[in-house]
């Protein structure tokens, strides 16, 4: 008891008294103990990355929860931060003990480091998609949220609709049964990936840095390039430094429900092949198609519909119960249905993993990263989904765990 009393500072007590007088009280989780919800069920919230998707991401964080927005952080706030409400450095925001939940809507090159720092600080996180910029970041996020026992949800929700249909539950069970040894199923998508829209610019003239923008902090763990306005805002997606083009932007929407449907939340493809022109070292560009094949034969085929000739002879095919023997069909039908996916709010309240938990989000993000590696290399790559390493290709494997600009590191 004495130790708990010492954790409550005089300032915290006065702050709580002021809140109670106003009719509510936010009780920080560090006062109550690890993983405990405040008795008032009011959570302190914060948004990191306030442009573009920021409002929508924070809205998802607040859904079905009573959240008071206490702070926000953005590198464009250089002319009016740091203070008790507005920050440019996310580390100062995360130091606050009255913040329980954090929405992250920065460009993806910051997603992993901020998510990990938030977990270390005892916060639960709802993070915009894609989860990471490269594969090794995803594994680091998984391990951090496991170590600190925090909740993570990636900001894509297609899997929730997918998992709510009876026919899809059956497909999920078939694939999770381990009884399909030579899977003929193919998920095929043509278009909808914004390839041209999110292509980067090359040979541009550097521009003066706006006074309100902390450009060094914006670049963060990525290389410090000359400033150009096309590298910020939504068009940041067109540069390998920050994201991975339209494929990384829209791919998690398309592939996250497919990963659940085909039971691939704990594995990855073993072979990836792409058809694309030579890639620019800094700017994302056009590509024609990508094929990802799993060890059991299941394939994902993405065709941009924006470059090259259409694929011939490729069409989607669903896995069927009739693909199995009668004995194996019976085994599948006797399997219990998967546990319903939890929303972020349900996960926060129950302290059980959310539907878009770190492992699932990492496996989906890896599909886009591997596709982009094959596009950038211009050759087929082989992948070990257990070690999360590209096999027999050192150049390609360097894109799995990319260096970060000092002092930033995983």
The residue ranges of every structural domain in the chain are 2-157, 160-397
Domain 2-157 matches domain 160-397 at the CATH topology level: no
Provide the β-strand partners of residue 302: 189, 290
Note the pLDDT of residue 16: 35
Q: Which pTM was predicted?
A: 0.89
Q: What is the DSSP string of 391-410?
A: ES-HHHHTTTS----TT---
Cβ-count burial 122-152 (b if 16+ within 10 Å, e if not): bbbbbbbbbbbbbbbbbbbbbebbeebebbb
Note the pLDDT of residue 12: 37
| CATH among 1.10.3470, 3.50.50, 1.10.10, 3.30.360 for 160-397 | 3.30.360
The CA R_g of the chain, rounded to the nearest whole Å, is: 23
pLDDT in tens, the chain (410 residues): 333 333 333 233 323 333 333 333 444 454 444 445 554 589 999 999 998 889 999 999 999 999 999 999 999 999 888 778 999 999 999 999 999 999 999 999 999 999 999 999 999 999 999 999 999 999 999 999 999 999 999 988 889 999 889 999 999 999 999 999 899 999 999 999 999 999 999 999 999 999 999 999 999 999 999 999 999 999 999 999 999 999 999 998 999 999 999 999 999 999 999 999 999 999 999 999 999 999 999 999 999 999 999 898 888 999 999 999 999 999 999 999 999 999 999 999 999 999 999 999 999 999 999 999 999 999 999 999 999 999 999 999 999 999 999 999 99
Fold of 2-157: Rossmann fold (3.40.50)
Note the pLDDT of residue 365: 97
């Amino acid at each position: 008891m004495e130790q708990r009393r010492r954790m409550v500072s005089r300032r915290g007590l006065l702050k709580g008294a002021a809140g109670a007088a106003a009719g509510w009280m936010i009780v920080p989780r560090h006062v109550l103990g690890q993983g405990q919800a405040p008795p008032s069920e009011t959570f302190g919230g914060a948004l990191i990355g306030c442009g573009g998707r920021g409002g929508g991401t924070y809205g998802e964080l607040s859904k079905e929860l009573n959240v008071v927005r206490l702070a926000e952080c953005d590198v464009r706030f250089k002319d009016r931060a740091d203070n008790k409400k507005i920050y440019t450095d996310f580390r100062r925001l995360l130091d606050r003990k009255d913040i329980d939940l954090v929405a992250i809507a920065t460009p993806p090159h910051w997603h992993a480091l901020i998510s990990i720092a938030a977990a270390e600080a005892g916060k639960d996180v709802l993070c915009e998609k894609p989860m990471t910029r490269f594969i090794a970041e995803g594994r680091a996020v998984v391990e951090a949220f496991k170590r600190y026992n925090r909740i993570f949800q990636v900001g894509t929700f297609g899997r929730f609709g997918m998992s709510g249909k009876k026919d899809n539950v059956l497909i999920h069970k078939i694939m999770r049964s381990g009884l399909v040894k030579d899977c003929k199923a193919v998920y095929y998508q043509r278009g909808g990936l914004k390839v041209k829209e999110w292509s980067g610019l090359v040979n541009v003239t550097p521009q003066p840095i706006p006074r309100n923008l902390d450009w060094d902090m914006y670049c963060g763990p990525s290389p410090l390039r000359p400033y150009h306005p096309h590298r910020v805002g939504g068009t940041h997606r067109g540069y390998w430094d920050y994201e991975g083009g339209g494929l990384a932007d829209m791919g998690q929407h398309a592939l996250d429900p497919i990963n659940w449907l085909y039971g691939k939340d704990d594995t990855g493809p073993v072979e990836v092949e792409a058809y694309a022109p030579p890639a620019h070292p800094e700017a994302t560009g056009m590509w024609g198609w990508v094929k990802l094949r799993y060890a059991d034969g299941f394939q994902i085929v993405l065709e941009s519909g924006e470059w090259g000739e259409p694929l011939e002879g490729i069409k989607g095919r669903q896995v069927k119960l009739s693909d199995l023997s009668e004995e194996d069909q019976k085994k599948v039908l006797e399997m219990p249905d998967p546990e319903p996916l939890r929303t972020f709010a349900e996960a926060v309240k129950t302290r059980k993993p959310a539907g878009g938990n770190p492992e699932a989000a990492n496996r989906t993000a890896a599909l886009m990263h591997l596709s982009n590696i094959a596009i950038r290399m211009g050759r087929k790559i082989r992948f070990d989904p257990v070690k999360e390493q590209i096999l027999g290709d050192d150049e390609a494997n360097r894109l799995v765990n990319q260096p970060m600009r000092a002092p930033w590191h995983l």
